[in-house]
Amino acid sequence: MSDRNLTEAIDRYLNGEMQGEELLRFEDLRRNNPDIDRQIAEHKSFLAALKHYGERLQLEERLNAIHEEIDVHTLKEELQIKPNWIIQLWRHHHSKISVAASIAIFAVLITLFFTGNLKRNDPAYMQLRQEIAQVKQSTAILGRQNRNLDNKVNAVKAAIKNTNPGSFAGTGFALTSNGYLVTNYHVVKGADSVYVQNADGESFHAKIIYTEPQNDIAFLQINDESFKPLGSVPYNIRKGKSDLGEDVFTVGYPSDAIRFSPGYLTSPSGFDGDSTAYEVSIAARPGNSGGPLLDTRGNLIGIISGKQSKYETSSFAKKSSYLMEAIQNIPADSLSKPLTLNSRNGLAGLSRTQQIKKLQNFIFMVKVYN
């Protein structure tokens, strides 16, 4: 039996195409001929390799994409905003990069071996040796790149221990369903980048589009692809003045969990007679800065902006009329989407617990990276 006929017979045998007397004869031949038995075992291993070869090619393509994705220029930026991302990427993929070239070598050699085309005096053999040498060189380069990247990741790990990954700054709340938020200017002052986090723990990148330092107001726009519209904003901005003794409340992030704080309006002016702010008796902490101040019907009457250090429950809130003026002052070229305020109040008539449930998705923790 020629080598080619034997290879075809082994294929048919392993694929279950032999039957009856032919199958019995071939099995008998296998038992009595150790060389044929060895070839069958090798061919079986070869078929198994081919079965997974397509998957390995896809793996190599993915590895190439990953390798393109990791570069020194993005490393610094990623460290500032999402340092753990690089480490997780390396943990998942660094071992695969080092074997990609070996897979290619293995596939070429085993194919030539079983087809009988691997001959030392064949020009194709010499060309193959050159190509293998090139692949080995590429593998060595990949190995050095892997070690360099490993060193970079270790440097990132060390830097994370000594770098503030983002300071917990304050609170912001939605003006529209399409990603426009407002907070205090002092919350985002000096920030290189800003992230906001919702009640479900989802974080989104945001950019500062306009500020009014004199009124301690800053406007943000969520510009993250993963952000989805919020739905109708449940509160509207109250245009009239609020009265002394009026019940008010705020919802914000004085810590890493959302918190409700009730109170009442104690003065029509803020610190040192500031007519642009209210004084309120409310248990607000620094993280509440930038949060909404609402009346019992859920109308927005101000923005929490600070507290009186001498008194635990004495805080200040910028009046909503100044927020309205600031919105009108936003340059048109700063807005990539329409900024249309809600004119209907969806919180009036609800109990306080129901109001808070509807509010939670529109209140955000604000984190800054310097």
- The residues facing 47 across adjacent strands are none
- The residues facing 211 across adjacent strands are 218
**Residue 75 falls inside a structural domain:** no
The per-residue b/e assignment along 111-144, b for 16 or more CB within 10 angstroms, e otherwise, is ebebeeebeeeeeeeeebeeeeeeeeeebeebee
Please give the residue that has the higher pLDDT: either 339 or 89: 339
Q: What local confidence, expressed as pLDDT, does residue 337 receive?
A: 94
Total number of domains in the chain: 3
Whether residue 301 sits in one domain with residue 210:
yes
**Residue 48 falls inside a structural domain:** yes
**Residue 80 falls inside a structural domain:** no
| Residue 291 pLDDT exceeds 70 | yes
Q: What local confidence, expressed as pLDDT, does residue 115 receive?
A: 54
Whether residue 104 sits in one domain with residue 55:
no
Q: What local confidence, expressed as pLDDT, does residue 81 receive?
A: 46
- The residues facing 205 across adjacent strands are 195
Q: Quick one: DSSP state of residue 163?
A: S
- Least Cα distance to 242 among 274, 216, 271, 277 occurs for 277
Whether residue 294 sits in one domain with residue 248:
yes
Whether residue 99 sits in one domain with residue 60:
no
Whether residue 264 sits in one domain with residue 197:
yes
Q: Which domain covers residue 15, as residue numbers?
A: 3-68
| Residue 294 pLDDT exceeds 50 | yes
**Residue 315 falls inside a structural domain:** yes
Q: What local confidence, expressed as pLDDT, does residue 186 receive?
A: 94
Whether residue 337 sits in one domain with residue 210:
yes
**Residue 215 falls inside a structural domain:** yes
Q: What local confidence, expressed as pLDDT, does residue 123 receive?
A: 61
Confidence of residue 111 (pLDDT cuts 50, 70, 90): low
| Residue 92 pLDDT exceeds 60 | no
Range from 30-34, 197-201, 351-355 carrying the lowest mean pLDDT: 30-34
Q: What local confidence, expressed as pLDDT, does residue 47 receive?
A: 73
CA distances from 192 to 31, 243, 278, 285 (A): 75, 40, 31, 24
- Least Cα distance to 30 among 41, 15, 21 occurs for 41
Whether residue 175 sits in one domain with residue 95:
no
Whether residue 132 sits in one domain with residue 37:
no
**Whole-angstrom distance, CA of residue 204 vs CA of residue 217:** 20
Residues 175-194: tens digit of each pLDDT: 999 999 999 999 999 998 99
Residues 135-157: what's their mean pLDDT? 65
| Residue 217 φ/ψ, nearest 5 degrees | -125, 140
Whether residue 356 sits in one domain with residue 210:
yes
| Sole residue written with tokens 């009346």 | 295
**Whole-angstrom distance, CA of residue 36 vs CA of residue 26:** 10
Q: CATH number of the domain that 308 lies in?
A: 2.40.10.120
Residues 306-342: tens digit of each pLDDT: 876 656 678 999 999 999 999 999 999 999 999 999 9
Confidence of residue 110 (pLDDT cuts 50, 70, 90): low
Confidence of residue 73 (pLDDT cuts 50, 70, 90): very low
**Residue 132 falls inside a structural domain:** yes
Residues 211-250: tens digit of each pLDDT: 999 999 999 999 999 999 999 999 999 988 899 999 999 9
**pTM over cut 0.85:** no
**Whole-angstrom distance, CA of residue 301 vs CA of residue 238:** 5
Q: Where are the beta strands (DSSP E) in the chain?
A: 167-174, 180-183, 193-197, 203-212, 217-222, 247-252, 259-267, 277-282, 292-295, 300-307, 314-319, 363-369
Whether residue 295 sits in one domain with residue 237:
yes
